[in-house]
Amino acid sequence: MGIVVMLAAAAWAGHHALSAFAHDSRTQSRLTLAWISLFVIFLLQTFMYHLERPIKLTPRITRQLGELHVAILVPVYNEDPGYLKLGLESFLRQTRRPDSVHIVDDGSTNGDYVDIRSWWEQAAHHAGIATTWQRVPNGGKRHAQAHAVGVSPDADIYITCDSDSCFAPTAIEQALIPFSRPRVQSVAGIVIATNNRANWLVRITDLWFVVCQLVDRSGQSAVGAVMVNSGPLAAYRAAIIRDNLDGYLNETFMGRPVNFSDDSMLTLYAQERGLTVQQPSAICFTAMPEKLSHFNRMYLRWMRGSTIRSIWRMRYLTPSRPAFWLHTMRWIQMVLTQMVTIWMLVVEPLVYADMPPTSMLVVPFLIGWAQGLRYLSIIRSDERIRSRLLTWLAMPAAIVLAWTLLRWLRWYGMATCAKTGWGTRQNGAEVTLTEPAPTPAA
C-alpha cells in the first residue's frame, strides 16, 4: 500500500509540474508524452515485480532436489582471508549442504591461504562435503571456474559465487527450489552487503543494489527472463556451463578477450534454453566497496560489461522471448530519461527562460522511496529495523548519486567498452574483515 500511495503522489506531482509549462502548447505536449511514457514503464515495472512469487518448498520438491549433486565453484584471487573463511564457514551451516565445493586460487599474489586451506579440508571432511583446492596460474575468473568444472564431472547443479560470498543458512536450499520446474535453467539469489554499516557509501550502495534486484530483476523473473544473475550467488543446470565452456572462456569483443561480465554471459546461455528466474528467499551477503575509488572501478566494469552484453542480446535474443522486449523497454526508458533530463535542465532554461518547477524534483524522490520500500522487506538478524529504516530514508542520496556520478560512469563505460580488463583487486583485497563475524541470516 505504501508503494501505491507514493506512486500516486508522484503522479500528482508530475501532473502539477507539467501543468506549469503553459508557455508553449507544442513543448507541453511533447514533454507530456515523454512523461506519460516513463510513468507507464514505472507502473508496468511495479505490476511485474509484484507478480514475483518464490516457489515454496514441499516434501515432494525436497525429495526431488535431494537427488541432485550440487557443486559450488569458488574462484579466489587476492581475497581477504577473513572474508574467504567467513564464506566457507557459511557452506557448513547450510540447511541443505552442497555435495562438493571446488576452490581455485587463481594465482593470488598476496598469499597462498595455507592455514585456511588446512582448516577447510578438515572441516569439509567432517561435514561430508567433497572438496578440492587448486592453485593455478592467473587466468581470470572464468578460467578459475573452468578448472573447478573440470574436477566436478558428476555435478547436476553448479552454484557460482565470489570469494567473499557469505550464504545465509537457507541460501542453497532456497536457490534449488525453482529447479523443480524443468524449464528453469538458472536461478539468481538476492545479494546484500555484509559490511552495510561500514559507512554511508556502503549503506547507499546496499540500498540501491537491493532495490534494483527486488524491482528490475523481480519484474524480469515474473516472466522467466532474468537478464543478469549476480556473481555472489547464482545457480545453473550443469549442462549450461559444460556445453558452453569453450565460448565462455574465449569470448572476445573488438578483437580483445573479455575478462568480466561472466555472470551475464552465463545468464544469456541459460536464456537460450529456457527460463531464468530469481528466488528472493535465497540470500547471500557480500563485501561492498568502502571507498569511492573502488566503487567507481567496480561500477565502470559493470557498465562496460553491460554494454557488451546488450549488443549480444540484440544479436541473439529473438522477439519470441520476453527478455528481448524487456531489454528493448530498458533502452527506451534510458533514452527517454536522458532526453527529459536534458530538456528540463538545459532546453527549458536556455531557450524558454523557464526553470523547472520545484514539484518536478519531488517526483523521482517519491518514486525512489516507493520502490525502496522493497529494501525493508529483507529482515536481517544482525541489524535492527530502525537502522534499515534510516538507510531507506537516504534514498534521495542514492537518486542524486544515480543522476550524477553513475550516469556519467554509464556513458563513459559505454564509450570505453573495448577496455575489457578486470580493474579491481590487482594489488590485494580492497575490503577487509577487521574482526571475526558470525554468519548473518535474512
Could you tell me the CATH number of the domain that includes residue 155?
Answer: 3.90.550.10
Calculate ∠ Cα 285-289-294, nearest 5°.
150
Give the whole-angstrom CA distance, residue 369 versus residue 393: 8
Please tell me whether residues 37 and 105 are part of one structural domain: no
Q: Are 111 and 227 part of one and the same domain?
A: yes
Do 287 and 170 form a contact (C-beta atoms < 8 A)? no
The one-letter amino acid at 361: L
User: Residues 120, 171: one domain?
Assistant: yes
User: Residue 234: exposed, middle, or buried by beta-carbon count in 10 A (0-12, 13-18, 19+)?
Assistant: buried
Of the chain, the percentage scoring pLDDT greater than 90 comes to: 54
- Of residues 317, 262, 303, the one with CA closest to residue 418: 303
Q: Is residue 435 part of a domain?
A: no
Query: In the predicted model, what is the mean pLDDT of residues 25-53?
Result: 74
Q: Which residue has the cell 559493470?
A: 302
Higher pLDDT, 219 or 30: 219
Report if residue 298 sits inside a domain.
Answer: no
Q: Is 223 within the bounds of a domain? A: yes
pLDDT in tens, 357-414: 676 677 788 888 888 999 999 999 889 999 999 999 999 999 999 888 888 898 898 8
Evaluate whether residue 214 is within a structural domain.
yes
40 and 116 share one domain: no
CA 417 to chain centroid, in Å, comes to: 19
In this structure, are 328 and 286 located in the same domain?
no
HSE (side-chain half, CA atoms, 13 Å) at 172: 28
For the packed helices 262-271 and 141-150, what is the interaxial angle rounded to 10 degrees? Answer: 60
Q: Mean pLDDT: which of 102-106, 312-316, 377-381, 435-439 is highest?
A: 102-106
> Is a pLDDT exceeding 90 seen at residue 34?
no
Q: One-letter amino acid identity for 208?
A: W
Domain range for 259: 59-292
Looking at the domain assignment, is residue 68 inside a domain?
yes
- The answer for residues whose C-beta is within 8 angstroms of residue 82's C-beta and 6 or more apart is 432, 433, 434, 435, 436
Q: What is the DSSP letter of 428?
A: S
Are residues 142 and 263 in contact, defined by beta-carbon separation less than 8 angstroms? no
pLDDT band at 285 (very low <50, low <70, confident <90, very high): very high
Res 234: pLDDT: 97
Evaluate if residue 295 carries a pLDDT over 60. Answer: yes
Q: Is 265 helix (H, G, I), strand (E, B) or coil?
A: helix
Residue 420 belongs to some domain of the structure = no
Per 3-state DSSP, the chain is made up of helix, strand and coil in percentages (nearest 5) of 55, 15, 30
For residue 84, give the nearest of 428, 415, 442 by alpha carbon. Answer: 428
Give per-residue pLDDT as tens, 110-133.
Answer: 888 999 999 999 999 999 999 999
pLDDT recorded at residue 15 = 64
Q: How far apart are CA 145 and CA 417, in angstroms?
A: 24
Regarding whether 35 and 101 lie in a shared domain, the answer is no
The answer on 46 and 77 residing in a single domain is no
Average pLDDT, the chain: 87
Identify whether residues 176 and 224 lie together within a single domain: yes
Report residue 16's pLDDT band, with 50, 70 and 90 as the boundaries: low
Q: Indicate whether 142 and 276 sit together in one domain.
A: yes
C-beta of residue 280 within 8 angstroms of C-beta of residue 188: no
Type of residue found at 226: V
Beta carbons within 10 angstroms of residue 406's beta carbon: 19
Is residue 44 domain-shared with residue 71, that is, in the same domain? no
CA distances for 166 relative to 194, 225, 438, angstroms: 8, 26, 10
Boundary residue ending a domain (292, 315, 342): 292
Please list the alpha-helical segments (H only) found in 93-137. 114-127
- Do residues 284 and 343 share a domain? no
Quote the Cα angle for 51-52-55, to 5°: 130
Q: How many domains does the chain have?
A: 2
Asked whether residue 304 is assigned to any structural domain, the reply reads no
Query: How many other CB atoms sit within 10 Å of the CB of residue 160?
Result: 25
Do 254 and 116 fall into the same domain?
yes
Tell me if 332 is assigned to some domain: yes
Question: Who wins on pLDDT, 180 or 420?
Answer: 180
Q: CA dist 135 to 75, 103, 117, 184, Å?
A: 10, 9, 11, 33
Q: Which residues contact 195 (CB under 8 A, 6 or more apart)?
A: 202, 287, 288, 290, 431
Determine phi and psi for 285, rounding to 5 degrees: -100, 145
